[in-house]
Chains A and B, each alone.
Chain A
Amino acid sequence: MDQTGVAVTSSQEIGLRSDQEIVRLRQLVRDQAVAQGFSLVDQTKFVTAASELARNTLIYGGGGDAQLSTLVNGMRKGLRLRFIDQGAGIADIERALQDGFTSGSGLGLGLGGARRLSDEFEIQSEPGKGTTVTITKWKLR
């Protein structure tokens, strides 16, 4: 258990080293979101957020891994995705989170967008030390 009351009920690792793997991740996340009982809109939002972050990991992180976990907190069910890469890292996270910020093409839209589409969002990044982004979404009812 990492937070009071939140328990991880299953976990799987997915490599992100090609754009086909981004597609595979989308499908896996979609399947789990359906299994956890998310509404169609919430499924779509979370899978889209996953797609954005997966692409960031591939393109800006030089490839990495995703950890998909199913969560339970009392009667609530949820999904958590953690993206880890050993890439260049982000120097100015605040700026990167603002839409429109580009350090190549479209990095900003992905991060800020993924945050808006998720219930919880965490990012750790340092130049030269890679990046870890974690998003969580809960089924409300």
Chain B
Amino acid sequence: MNQPKGAALVEVLARHRDTLLTDWMNQHLSIALRRGLTTEAEMADQFRSFLNVFVDTLTRADTLDGNRPEWEPVRAYLAEISTHRARQGFTPAETATFVFSLKQPLYARLREAFGNQPAELADTSWSVNMLLDALGIYTTEVFQRSREAIILRQQEELLELSTPVVQLWEGILALPLIGTLDSARTQVVMESLLQKIVETGAAIAIIDITGVPTVDTLVAQHLLKTVAAARLMGADCIISGIRPQIAQTIVHLGVDLTNVTTKSTLADAFIIALQRSGSSIDNVTRLQN
């Protein structure tokens, strides 16, 4: 370690590590335990582990810039506990405070060490301040990203629940799409339709878009790709529920539907599907009697 400030900091930390740990815990523990989201044992473990990786990295790195690659071990540990706390229900501020609350005890120790060197004290304190700020902010960024990932996963689960593939008849599936379709959602839904085709051995799938207010180029392309993929697998798709506005949009977008069977209602599509699979409505009535 060739940075003078860093060296002094390492020395202070080495000499006062235990008291530092106690002070820091006293500072922050009550806040951390306030909402009953974690235990004292878990918190003590996090304090100790953080201080260890912090001191370790400080000894090895020759920079106090928390964003540099040398500080990756500390960031990695913070990312771990930040994600963990996100799941536990902590707010990002609470997790950032975990880092910020180290400042007070650390300044106290620095004041003792640099008592008669105001310039060095100010300098080192400032560097520590910047370092802990950077690390604290990093926890909020990680927090944000992991919350987003959780939300995304919940959306997917909701998606699967809200677009069930229905088996209308033996060998005939229906996929009623409802609501606005975005590219990502459409892809997920289409993949699950193809999977259901394999699972049920259905040779015909009706994709009903009655409940879809608008269709853009991307969605139209996904629909067509799904039809093409189903065909490659040995199944046929019928698209139903194309309202006049959507028909106009599709024509305007130049989407080519010449090879795809389309019907305006799900009922019409069902009749066609029955005919293609060798049944008809007459048969159905007779079977029921």
A35 at the interface (CB under 8 A from B): no
Among B30-38, B145-153, B234-242, B244-252, the stretch in contact with A:
B145-153
Task: Tell me if B's interface is mostly helix, strand, loop or mixed.
Answer: helix
Q: What's the nearest-Cβ distance from chain B to residue A119, in Å?
A: 14
Chain A contacts of B146 at CB under 8 A? 75
Q: What's the nearest-Cβ distance from chain B to residue A85, in Å?
A: 32
Q: How far is the CA of A141 from the CA of B152 in the complex (A)?
A: 8
Chain A contacts of B152 at CB under 8 A? 141
Residues of chain A at interface, number, CB under 8 A: 4
A104 at the interface (CB under 8 A from B): no
Who on chain B is nearest to A76 by CB? Answer: B145
B119-148 toward A: CB 8 Å interface, digit per residue (1/0)?
000000000000000000000001001100
Who on chain B is nearest to A40 by CB? Answer: B191
Is the CB–CB distance between A75 and B145 below 8 Å?
A: yes
Is the CB–CB distance between A141 and B149 below 8 Å?
A: yes
**CB within 8 Å of A: which B134-180 residues:** 142, 145-146, 149, 152-153, 156
**CB within 8 Å of B: which A9-46 residues:** 41
Which of the four size classes fits the interface of chain B?
Answer: under 10
Who on chain A is nearest to B149 by CB? Answer: A141
Is the CB–CB distance between A141 and B145 below 8 Å?
A: no
B245-277 toward A: CB 8 Å interface, digit per residue (1/0)?
000000000000000000000000000000000
Q: What's the nearest-Cβ distance from chain B to residue A1, in Å?
A: 8
**CB within 8 Å of B: which A114-141 residues:** 141
Q: How far is the CA of A41 from the CA of B191 in the complex (A)?
A: 9
Chain A contacts of B153 at CB under 8 A? 141
A35-62 toward B: CB 8 Å interface, digit per residue (1/0)?
0000001000000000000000000000
Known contacts A141-B152, A141-B153; is-contact A74 B145 (Cβ 8 Å) = yes
Who on chain B is nearest to A75 by CB? Answer: B145
Chain B contacts of A41 at CB under 8 A? 191
Chain A contacts of B149 at CB under 8 A? 75, 141
Chain B contacts of A75 at CB under 8 A? 142, 145-146, 149
Q: How far is the CA of A141 from the CA of B146 in the complex (A)?
A: 10
**CB within 8 Å of B: which A65-83 residues:** 74-75
**Interchain residue pairs with CB less than 8 A apart (10):** A41-B191, A74-B145, A75-B142, A75-B145, A75-B146, A75-B149, A141-B149, A141-B152, A141-B153, A141-B156
List chain B positions with a Cβ less than 8 A from chain A. 142, 145-146, 149, 152-153, 156, 191
Top 4 nearest A-B pairs (CB, nearest first) are A75-B145, A141-B152, A41-B191, A141-B149
